[in-house]
Chain A
Amino acid sequence: MIDRTVWGLFAALLVVLGAGFIAADWAQFLLVLALAKGMVVLGLLVLMRAGLVSFGQGLWYGLGCYAAGMAGNFLGVTDAFLLLALGIAASTTVAFILGFLLSRYREIFFALLNMAFSMILFGVLVKTSVLGSTDGFNVLTPTFLGYAPSEAALGDTVFLLTAVISFVVAVLIHWYLGSTMGFIGEAIRENELRVEYLGVSARRAVHIKLMIAAALSGIGGVLTAIAVGHVDPEMTYWTTSGEFVFVAILSGTGSVAAPFMGSIIFEVLRTYAYEYSPYTWQMLMGAVMLLVIIFLPGGLWSALSRSRKGEGK
């Protein structure tokens, strides 16, 4: 179980921790956001391994964000771990319910049905004035099992939490994908008829995958809410969901590390593109996507694994 990938992830965790603690505050914050969103992308990886793409992951992400924000503002909950539990509960419960419908669909219908649900949530949030409508609202400062860090230490604490959770989640998903149940995704992508005639409900397997992806997105949402200190309906908007798909394709599905790597690259690119050429950001992203699709259809990760294989020969 503790295989090369797990050691690799552990090494990556150490590198990220080292980099994050010496980095400037803004860079550390960027890393937190990238890792949090990387978890949403990891959820997409789970779906994409089963041949499914969702244009509505903002739904689960937004549920995580708002669950964290609302638990603080309405219930006075500030403990980050409790918020995480609530965020996961919110997103997976909704995924469990909607999953009965979503798991019947494949391909573009699946992608757009997810998007439709995310648009409904967006519409509801925008119309709900107690939740600040389009402005959203501020999230309370988190505490950590009774520890209330000073303002100066808050950033480091949130960063540490995010990095460690990313590591744990990546290992868990790595194990899941290596299990028979995880691998059923590949089987469904390749031949659903054969899956059914092996006695397995492809729909049920997809339902479970949906809930896993929702849980991951929920975690990403809670961490984002905590880190940013603010939530707004934009987090559930289809452009946010589109960005997750973008990063997922950029990253590739070759490894559970790929979404995090892709997400970090994406956030860095975006920051610099905004700074140096504020009006050409979309163009740059379009060009990057074009190059990846043409030259690295397996995503950035495939370039890494390809060069590693090359060395081995």
Chain B
Amino acid sequence: MTPVLEARGLTKTFGAVTAADDIHVAVADGEIVGIIGANGAGKTTFVNMVTGYLKPSAGQILYRGTDITGRDSREITKLGIHRSFQIAQVFPDITVLDNVLVALGVAGDLPRTIFKPLRSPKTEAAADEIIARYGIGEYRNVKAGLLPQGVRKLLDIAMAMVGDPKIILLDEPTSGVSADEKLEAMRGLLKVLKDDKVTVLFVEHDMEIVGEFAQRVIAFYDGRILADGKPDEVLSDSSVREFVIGPELHRRSAGKD
């Protein structure tokens, strides 16, 4: 079966830095893939290239077999590849409800949005349903800029999920959520994503979470793929332990997480 998403020799250089170096990945429809790697390993660069934020220096990106390399973020979004951001991207000066209303309203063709009122009982009911699904109902009328980081991330993801994407890339969805709440937050989130049958790629530093939720793990190191396979295999791989998990444990004990 054609992979839903494929990277062929994806490479990105920033001057002398090679942030992504000949990445080959094929993701099957409905897979839930965890992406791990120390800071600076190239995880965000990979997400940025797939979602059109960065143009690759070399290589190709295919969506269901179609070459989409070099298309801009908007076109890629329209194809059904959505994303959330490492630093949550929301509309800070308007409420959670209004954020979701905008996302709902624009799902469709721009010229037609002139005939769609932003606020109506129907659109508000739809927005409330989404807000409830992501468990952020209590923040409905809070300005997005004032939200706790973890909630802001959920809002970012909720907005990215509007418009029924086929693939969603989540860049550190639980960063900013306290360690003891992470598992619970991720469980809730993945339940929603699974219900929507979306293919998920999520960048995550917490190995416990990766082990629990990913069906497959890709480990990045220095712009390259170090290992790619079943979670227990990848997480017990000796080089992954040395270059990815070791530094993560070190980072955590240093209190940076």
Contact = CB atoms under 8 A, between A and B. Distances in A.
A181 interface: yes
B92 A190 contact: yes
A211 to B, nearest CB: 12
A194 B163 CA distance: 14
Contact of B110 (A181, A193, A196): A181
Nearest to A202: B74
A7 B175 CA distance: 49
A200 B90 CA distance: 15
Nearest to B123: A180
A179 B117 contact: yes
A187 B82 CA distance: 18
A176 B115 CA distance: 8
Interface stretch (B37-45, B99-107, B244-252): B99-107
B186 interface: no
A253 to B, nearest CB: 13
13 contacts: A183-B101, A187-B91, A190-B92, A194-B89, A194-B159, A196-B73, A196-B74, A197-B73, A197-B77, A197-B160, A198-B162, A200-B74, A201-B74
Interface in B82-131: 82-83, 85, 89-94, 101-103, 105-107, 110-111, 113-119
A228 B164 CA distance: 56
Given A186-B94, A194-B91, A181 B114 contact: yes
A205 B102 contact: no
A179 B102 contact: no
Contacts of B72: 196
Given A194-B90, A197-B89, 9 more contacts: A176-B114, A179-B116, A180-B117, A183-B101, A194-B89, A196-B77, A197-B74, A198-B77, A198-B159
Q: How large is the interface on B (under 10, 10 to 19, 20 to 34, 35 or more residues)?
A: 35 or more
B103 A186 contact: no
Interface of A: 176, 178-184, 186-187, 190-191, 193-201, 204-205, 208
Interface core residue of B72, B89, B119, B162 (most chain A CB under 10 Å)? B89
Contacts of A179: 113-118
Contacts, number: 89
A180 B116 contact: yes
A180 B106 CA distance: 7
B117 A197 contact: no
Given A179-B118, A183-B102, A198-B103, A205 B89 contact: no
A200 B162 CA distance: 13
Interface in B45-88: 51, 72-74, 77-78, 82-83, 85
Interface of B: 51, 72-74, 77-78, 82-83, 85, 89-94, 101-103, 105-107, 110-111, 113-119, 156, 159-160, 162-163
Contacts of B163: 198-199
Nearest to A183: B118
Given A197-B83, A199-B74, A205 B110 contact: yes
Contacts of B113: 179-181, 184
A184 B118 CA distance: 10
A178 B83 contact: no
A184 B117 contact: no
A198 B107 contact: yes
Nearest to A200: B106
B103 A178 contact: no
B89 A191 contact: yes
Contacts of A182: 114, 118
Contacts of B73: 196-197
Interface core residue of B51, B74, B111, B117 (most chain A CB under 10 Å)? B74
Contacts of A196: 72-74, 77
B74 A180 contact: no
B89 A180 contact: no
A110 B220 CA distance: 41
Contacts of B117: 178-180
A65 B209 CA distance: 66
Contacts of A204: 110
A227 to B, nearest CB: 31
A120 B163 CA distance: 44
A39 B113 CA distance: 24
Contact of B91 (A176, A180, A186): A186
Interface core residue of B73, B91, B119, B156 (most chain A CB under 10 Å)? B91
